[in-house]
Amino acid sequence: MLTTGSFRVKAGYLTAFLLLLVSYFLIFFTLQQLLRQSKWVEHTDLVINNLETLSAYLNETESSARGYVLLNDSDHLETFYAGTKKIDSILKNTDSITSDNIIQQRKLDTLKTLVQEKLGRMYRGVLLYKQAGNVITTEMKAGAGISKNLTINIKNSIQQMERAEKELLDLRKEKLRGVSVSIKIIAITSLTIAVLLSVYSFVTYSEESNAKAKADEQANSYRKQLEAKVQELQEANLELEKLRSLEKFTATGRIARTIGHEIRNPLTNIALASEQIKTGSNHDEETTMLLDMIERNANRINHMISELLTSTKFALLQYSKISINKLLDDTLELAKDRIELKHIKLDKKYSNAGCEIFADTEKIKIAFLNIIVNAIEAMERDKGILEVHVWHDSGKCFVKIKDNGVGMDEETQQKLFDPYFTKKGNGSGLGLTHTQNIILNHNGSIEVKSSLGEGSVFTVMLNSSDGSTPSTN
């Protein structure tokens, strides 16, 4: 919806644009007139120049003919012949450029007749001179008066044509000045109107702009407040996700300890009973085999319970300060054989500034190694690309490990860190549980994003070192 101010601004600019457009059309039209008049001025100058050149060549030709007769010099004769050819060319050119002027054509016809008669007498004089053995004859002397009159008539005819062309030149120059003045008037008038309308539009626009600026400032203030609230909600949501992960991990550990305690008690009794029976005498071979089987599986169950408890409880860490870049390089070195075996391309992008953390070096290596090994196993041979990126932001170190493997569905992602959850044929299901345990022990977080057929991305966040050793759990 247009406001009154906006309408005035648009109307002002539109009017200015239309006036400028009209003025441009007028200027274009007058420029065409100016070009046309300029061409006529050039045309008149060309005619005058031709007439002056014709007069000069006539004088030169006549002088050459006299020089030949008086001095008997053949060079003058060559100049005479060359001059006659040039005169003929100039007459043809003048006839062509004056074809639009009937009066000048008539005068030019008279001039051509006089020039031809003049040149003819000069040719005949030269011929008589040659026939008389290079002696001036009486007939040549008698024709001198006629030739003089022809020269005067030619000169008068050329002067008449030049005067006529000069009058045309003055007239055309006057028209040219008129067109130039018209262009100046149109340009100045249109520019003045356009400036006035632009000033009016600018003033109106400034008023509207000030009002809009105030509204934008108020809207910007509301936007910043909303962004701050959104940021607070995002931070709160991240904290909530961390708390949920920690709560889930704690609950899993509690359940694991309860199950471990409940299983170990009867398991201990089974082991003791088996050992007691085994110490007895008179056992046949089958009984001994069965007792060994009971003992072996009891030990296996006990080992599995120990692994479960280890991967689901907070541990005492041995902290040391280490560069996250070096830590990842060392971890990748441990997986080097697997990477080379599957011909996987490794893409490392580390932060130039580097990032140092306080961590239990060996345990955190295990955590990253579990993620990297899972990524390698998820990718096809000769097609895999493993990306390891590190950056630093707001006192935190971020590590992104990305693969282009088979990916995971939503259900798998939800259960990924649960103990004994695995889709591998030979997996224990405790690797990523242990990884999460280590990262949570370091007061960090781990996130995973994946889609089937598009690979997976694990993002680990760890607190960067600030010169003090972190508290232990």
The string of pLDDT tens digits covering residues 97-151 is 888 888 888 888 888 888 888 888 888 888 877 777 777 777 777 677 777 888 8
pLDDT at 180 over 70: yes
- Determine, yes or no, domain membership for 218: no
- Determine, yes or no, domain membership for 120: yes
Per-residue pLDDT tens over the stretch 65-94: 878 777 777 788 888 888 888 888 888 888
Q: Work out the mean pLDDT of the chain and round it to a whole number.
A: 79
More confident residue, 30 or 313: 30
Per-residue pLDDT tens over the stretch 253-301: 666 666 666 676 676 777 777 777 777 666 677 777 777 787 777 777 7
Structure tokens at 136: 């001036």
Query: Same domain for 189 and 337?
Result: no
Give me the domain span that covers residue 19: 4-209
- Determine, yes or no, domain membership for 422: yes
* Cα–Cα distance measured from residue 405 to residue 426, given in angstroms and rounded to the nearest whole number: 18
Query: Same domain for 189 and 325?
Result: no
DSSP one-letter string for 78-137: HHHHHHHHHHHHHHHHHHHHTTT-HHHHHHHHHHHHHHHHHHHHHHHHHHHHHHTTS---
Query: Same domain for 14 and 146?
Result: yes
Boundary (domain end) residue, out of 209, 233, 263: 209
Boundary (domain end) residue, out of 157, 188, 209: 209
Query: Same domain for 68 and 187?
Result: yes
Its sign, for the CA torsion 317, 320, 323, 328, is: negative
The one-letter amino acid code at 215 reads A
CB of 400 closer than 8 Å to CB of 351: no
Q: How many domains does the chain have?
A: 2
Residues in the chain: 473
- Determine, yes or no, domain membership for 264: no
Per-residue pLDDT tens over the stretch 10-31: 676 677 677 777 777 777 777 6
pLDDT of residue 387: 95
More confident residue, 207 or 258: 207
pLDDT band of 467, cuts 50, 70, 90: very low
pTM: 0.43
pLDDT band of 306, cuts 50, 70, 90: low
Query: Same domain for 204 and 341?
Result: no
Enclosing H/E stretch for 357: strand 356-359
Per-residue pLDDT tens over the stretch 231-248: 888 777 766 666 666 566
- Determine, yes or no, domain membership for 432: yes
pLDDT at 468 over 70: no
